[in-house]
Amino acid sequence: MLVDSHKVVRDKVIETEVCIVGAGPAGITLAREFIGQKFRVCLLESGELDFNRKTQSLSDCENIGYPPFLGLKDLRYRQYGGQANLWTIEINAQQIGLRDVPLDEIDFEKRDWVPYSGWPFSKSHLNPYYERAQTVCKLGKFA
């Protein structure tokens, strides 16, 4: 069931046992894993089914990093399906597809020069989930 938050009564509490934030490829895949379970799951997405420029403006930011970095407004889609809406890249003259790359170990590490960096676990913690996601998305063997 899809519920548009614009149609939910203000200050209404939505009760659920599991809340997945982000209806991109990972969030949708995870939500599908819970189909048929005896608990409620909420898949929460800031965007709508179709692209909405006003919602997308929530990702506006200032680039203070490496100059070629485009910024979140160009790299994050606030829309159901998330980044998958950007996956239509030209592989060659006859083929449109996608490139899927897992995070690197350094992405999880605290770096003094990067505010709020560091995760509470290492990349190895996610490897079983990466492996499962590759199976679900039919991306071939995880290596």
In this structure, the answer to whether residues 131 and 78 fall within a common structural domain is no
- Walk along the chain (143 residues) and give the pLDDT tens digit of each residue: 677 777 888 898 889 999 999 888 888 888 988 999 999 999 988 888 888 888 777 777 776 666 655 556 566 777 888 777 777 777 788 877 766 778 899 999 999 998 889 999 999 999 998 888 788 777 788 87
In a domain, 109, yes or no: yes
Ramachandran quadrant class, 138 (left: phi over 0; alpha: psi -120 to 50; beta: rest)? left
Residue 118, domain extent: 100-143
Closest CA to 44 of 65, 20, 28, 67: 20
Question: Could you give the number of structural domains in the chain?
Answer: 2
The residue type found at 35 is I
In this structure, the answer to whether residues 78 and 115 fall within a common structural domain is no
